[in-house]
Amino acid sequence: MNVTLILYESKYGTGKVVANTICPILGPAKSFDINDAPQDVKYYSNVVLVFSLYGHNSSEKILEYIKDNNIGFSKKRVALVCIGLNKQDGISEIIKIKTLINKEDVFTEFIKGETLINKLTYDEKDKIKYFCSKVGIPFNDLGKFDDSKVLDLAKNLREYFNTPQFIPPVNVTKKEIETFLINKNTCTLATGYGEFVRATPLEYEYYDGNIYIITEGGLKFIGLSKNKKVSLCIYENYVSMNNLCGLQISGEVEILQPWCEEYLDVLRSKDLKVENISKLPFDMNIIKIVPNKYEFLYSKFKNLGFDSKQIYIPEK
């Protein structure tokens, strides 16, 4: 199982927020304060070290933990996430940890942190005051933590850790996806923008690499009017962990112009008579979804010796 361990070292809480925000997104995962870190990490395939910068005292406990427990990173995927005010300081600290764990192939990210004067201990207030006078800036709160950067980080990290290692030839993945799409006929389409989100069960038609939905209308058009990006999924009922089958598709929507050639083709492919549709006293809309990414969790891949989750990016 691809499980992620997150260890954070944070005095004032920013690092903790980062670790605990990314944890459920990276799941299966567990986040620990470095003071409570487990000594045995063999269960984890991925390790994320989240540490904040405090001058010469940065990542002290993380470094000590790695040395004391003789943690081996060679077979693990590793990410180093540094929080601080100055990216250059972060790069130096990242190099220090990379050298200690003796691993070059590591995911790294710097997240802008913040220093709130009223949270600091007396001693550290003095250090920051000295730092501010040295660089000639007012003694005030420094930096601004932006939690949307943490969500971007989580998305990239998830992609990094979940890249399948055992991948079938691309035509095998494509064929399994197409067979599944052709055998099913109902999807859940997620649309939205801002505060508006909606999941709609819909019948679909898979045709020539695209997905078509014939629809009289509905609230999904609120999302579609503002945001052409959609996500949809098609899946089998859960039976057991050995029998998983769920396809998630990301794509962009086009609303077909009524009576254009493609619109007529879709009606014909559904055996719908054009003259009957044209006589209806209301508009019949056709939503075309052009997929740009398929994520297919399918136990059959595992039975064939591959990772059970495969990704397929169609050619444009």
Ligand X SMILES: Cc1cc2nc3c(=O)[nH]c(=O)nc-3n(C[C@H](O)[C@H](O)[C@H](O)COP(=O)(O)O)c2cc1C
Under the rule (CB under 6 A), what is the footprint of ligand X?
10-15, 52-55, 83-86, 89, 113-115, 120, 124, 127-128
* Nearest residue (CB) to ligand X, 115 versus 308: 115
| Residue at shortest CB range from ligand X | 113
Q: H/E/C letters for each residue in 196-259? A: EEEEEEEECEEECCEEEEEECCCCHHHHHHHCCEEEEEEECCCCCCCCCEEEEEEEEEEECCCC
Q: Which is nearer to ligand X, 86 or 162 (CB)?
A: 86
Q: Residues with Cβ < 8 Å from 141, sequence gap 6 or more? A: 114, 115, 116, 117
Cβ proximity to ligand X, 147 vs 252, nearer residue: 147
**What does residue 16 show for φ and ψ, rounded to 5 degrees?**
-65, -45
310 SS3 class: strand
Q: How far is the CB of 86 from ligand X (least distance, A)?
A: 4
Q: Choose between 93 and 176: whose C-beta lies nearer to ligand X.
A: 93
Other beta carbons less than 10 A from residue 67's beta carbon: 10
Residue 131 φ then ψ, to 5°: -60, -45
**Residue 22 CB, nearest distance to ligand X (Å)?**
14
For ligand X, which is the closer residue by CB, 14 or 310? Answer: 14
Residue 120 CB, shortest distance to ligand X, in Å, is: 6
Q: How far is the CB of 175 from ligand X (least distance, A)?
A: 48
DSSP class of residue 281?
S
Smallest gap from residue 122 Cβ to ligand X (A): 11
